[in-house]
Amino acid sequence: MKKGNTKPVLTGASLGLSGGLILFFSELLAIYAHTEIDVRTYVFFLLLFLVTGTLGGALLGIFLNFLRNKFSSTKIVAENANFFPASFLASIYFLYGFYYINQILTPGMGMVQPVSLAANLLFAIFILVMFLVASGYPSSSKGAVRTFVESSLLPLGLLVALNVRLFIWQPPQTQTRELFFGVLGFGLAGVLGILISRTAAKLLANRPAFSLIFNGVLTLFALYAFSLSGPPSASSFQIHPPANLTMMHPPNPKNVIWIVMDTARRDQISAYGGEPDRTPKIDAFAEGALVMNRAISSAPWTIPSHASMFTGMFPSKHGADRNVPGGKFTNPLVSENLTIAEILQSYGYDTACMAANVAGLSRNFGFDQGFNYYFDARPIAYYLLFGRVLVSLPQKFKANLLRLNEISLSSEINGIVFDWLKQRNPDVPFFLFINYMEPHDGVEYIPEPFYSMSGFKKSEYDRVMENLDQTKVVHFQQEVTPEQQEMFVKLLARRVYFLDYHIGKLLNKLREMELFDEALIIITSDHGDLNGEHHSFGHNTDLYNELIWVPLMVRYPGASKVGFSDQAVQNIDIMPEILNCLGIEIPQEVQGQPFEEVNHDIIAELFEQKKAQALLNPERYYRDLRAIYTKVNDDTLKYIWCSNGHDEMFDMLTDQNELNNIVPLKPEVVKHLEKRLDDWLKSFKPIGSDESGKMKFTKEVEERLRSLGYLK
Ligand SMILES: [Zn+2]
């Protein structure tokens, strides 16, 4: 290295080091306050910020020195000692702002959209102004590091405080208006911060002690402003109930806590005869609960299944599903539907939903109806400020470099639930709906000791799965080996155990708060998952038992009903069961029934999958399915009608794994069941449909679909 280069490299590196430290502590505060993240993540962030800050600063030093030599006649560069800190500051703001605008505020839009272009332009202008102001900042005798710290502290503090309000606790779907406010606030904070600190520095010139106190006070102010923003449960996800609501008083106002373990299969729960000791907390809960042995979901994926739970109706009736006749793409749960949250809200209940499955349960799909509080954001760690910029790069090369999920873990959801429980009015009964997501794809990184449970090693997993080609499997050209099957189970068992542990924590919290005994508590799942059974993966594609036969246990106030029940029920029956228990009348439109009265057909539906897994094997998956479990004469049968003619029928007494299609053996029964499904479908009209049965879209729904990009 040439001698003339040493000073700028050192200067740049120390600037970067200071910057890295400031960033790290801002981020640390953000995540420490609100999440349960293991120590290694903190250490990783510290190193990441310091290393990238130091290296980046040094590189910037070399680059700027090069510029200085090249354009030594340029006014700004030649004379100004503040050029380094100003550049560094500007580049930090630029990097972060650019990333935020293009990745987070306008996800998937990139830079081509006019609104995004305008946002970027506005942002660039602010950066330029900031740079010019900062580089004209009067130099102090202590040199560049101090100048940098002085010029960055206040705007950074303001930026952090501003971000909390404008960005971090915002729901994931950001609107255009918010985008502009974000950019505007961002730029304004920067310019304002530099102007203020510049004026302050003039006043404090040659008074280092005052300068130190001044900066100290500013830092404290910024941190205080930041902490005032509070956790997300404080206000940001609060939804205000309609003002004209007339409150009624429920005859039996018990608290209701409804837990959905998204994508949990029945055989993952030890109480149902799965591997022993996989779910000790849930098993203990089951001992004081009514355990439904034959609970069938109305659909094999999140949106229609949750809509069925919320409305007590089948997908064909509530309409929140893919390609329902007359519908387009995935329909939201239209506001004409009456949900359990709306009913309980009208009875004066405080209603809250905390959903880890933000893709399915986004408020944009209309699931927030009736909730006073609706949490559908990504984990806090996902919203790290500078961290996201720095993390996204190495993650492109090594996905598991940082063990952060884009989906909230049950530990994080619990944090929000506990906050909410603490701040609620204890005199008002509540309805709390919680969706946990560990069993679902995408939650790969759980903290230790859970991650390495049963000796799980990622390298071993990769080795066993190396030759598994899912495309071949779904085309019946490859079988999933027993070793691979075992690996699937092992992979999942750790996550289910982690979930079980945190469900245990929630139940303990309820006991601690003396809310457990008298509450109505439901634990269930929305659907299951396939690991190569039936030559299929994931959910969304079939109606086999692995996908729709779900765990369902209900703990009644005072544990008034316990034991196993073989009564066949569905997820549409949970809502009427709750209303019945609270002494509230069940609305006429509801198709489900209280458990003891269930005499409706047990039916599940799936509408054609043009996207999702169907891409793997369109010939197989481009079809609608409808399944009915029934008794015909002495048989207990399950018939799956298929729109492309590949009907299947299985004997549920001898073939619960559905390997033996008996359609050819019983043509008469098939005909009878097909007609029964037909008659059932004709017996009702979709909610929110017009006379011809077509879905009509209200303005609000169209707006929703448009915001999701479904309508142009
Ligand atoms: Zn789901």
DSSP string, 283-295: HHHHTTSEEEEEE
C-alpha 93 chain-centroid distance: 28
- Cα(314)–Cα(590) distance, integer angstroms: 9
- The tally of domains found in the chain comes to 2
Q: What is the DSSP string of 517-544?
A: TTSEEEEE-S---EESGGG-EESSS---
Does 235 reside within a domain? Answer: no
Q: How far is the CA of 540 from the centre of ligand 1 (A)?
A: 9
Q: Clarify whether residues 267 and 224 are in a common domain.
A: no
Do residues 366 and 225 both lie within one domain? no
Distance (Å) from CA 704 to ligand 1 centroid: 21
Distance 359 CA to ligand 1 centre (A): 10
Poorest-pLDDT segment among 9-18, 50-59, 195-204, 373-382: 195-204
Identify any residues that bridge with 689 across adjacent strands, giving them in sequence order. Answer: 695
Verify that 303 and 390 share a domain, yes or no.
yes
Residue 521 lies in a domain: yes
CA distance 89 to 126: 13
DSSP secondary structure letter of residue 688: T
Q: Has residue 225 got a pLDDT over 50? A: no
281 CA distance to ligand 1 centroid (A)? 22
Report whether 321 contacts 299 (CB < 8 A).
yes
Find the mean pLDDT for residues 327-337.
78
Q: How far is the CA of 269 from the centre of ligand 1 (A)?
A: 17
Which residue, 191, 205, 199, is CA-closest to 139? 205
Distance 538 CA to ligand 1 centre (A): 10
- Those residues with Cβ within 8 angstroms of residue 602's Cβ, 6 or more apart along the chain or in another chain: 296, 568, 570, 628, 629, 630
Q: Which of 287-296, 514-523, 533-542 has the lowest mean pLDDT?
A: 533-542
* Judgement on whether residues 403 and 530 belong to the same structural domain of the protein: yes
In a domain, 247, yes or no: no
Distance 256 CA to ligand 1 centre (A): 21
- Residue 206 pLDDT class (50, 70, 90 cuts): low
Distance 382 CA to ligand 1 centre (A): 21
Distance 432 CA to ligand 1 centre (A): 18
User: Distance, CA 139 to ligand 1 centroid (Å)?
Assistant: 59
Q: How far is the CA of 301 from the centre of ligand 1 (A)?
A: 5
* In the block, residue with structure tokens 């029956």: 573
| Residue 307 alpha carbon to ligand 1 centre in Å | 11
Q: Tell me, yes or no, whether 490 and 539 share the same domain.
A: yes
Q: How far is the CA of 302 from the centre of ligand 1 (A)?
A: 3
- Give the pair of three-digit tokens for residue 465: 């799965």
Structure tokens at 463: 């080795």
Provide the 10 A C-beta neighbour count for residue 638. 25
Q: Is 66 within a domain?
A: yes
> In angstroms, what is the span from residue 440 Cα to ligand 1's centroid?
7
What does the pLDDT read at residue 409?
A: 86
Q: Which residue has the tokens 């005032």?
A: 228
- Express each pLDDT in 151-172 by its tens digit: 555 445 544 544 444 444 444 3
Q: How far is the CA of 133 from the centre of ligand 1 (A)?
A: 52
If you ran DSSP here, which 8-state letter would residue 550 be given?
E
The total number of residues written for the chain in this structure: 712
CATH number at residue 265: 3.40.720.10
Distance 356 CA to ligand 1 centre (A): 10
Asked whether residue 241 is assigned to any structural domain, the reply reads: no
Question: pTM of the entire structure?
Answer: 0.73
Distance of CA 476 from the midpoint of ligand 1 (Å)? 26
- In angstroms, the CA 218 to CA 193 distance is 11
Domain residue limits at 277:
256-707
Distance 217 CA to ligand 1 centre (A): 49
Distance from the alpha carbon of residue 330 to the mean position of ligand 1, in angstroms:
15
Q: Tell me how far the alpha carbon of residue 404 lies from the centroid of ligand 1, in angstroms.
A: 21
Q: How far is the centre of ligand 1, averaged over its atoms, from the C-alpha of 48 (Å)? A: 35
pLDDT digits (tens, 9 = 90+) for 358-400: 888 887 788 999 998 888 776 655 555 555 555 555 555 444 4
Which of 195, 230, 265 marks a domain boundary? 230
Taking 80 as the threshold, does the pLDDT of residue 106 lie above it? no
Q: Say yes or no: 123 and 39 in one domain.
A: yes
Q: Note whether 467 and 600 are same-domain residues.
A: yes
Cis upstream peptide for 449 (omega within 30°)? yes
The total of other beta-carbon atoms located within 10 Å of residue 112's CB is 8
Compute, in angstroms, the gap from residue 263 CA to the centroid of ligand 1: 5
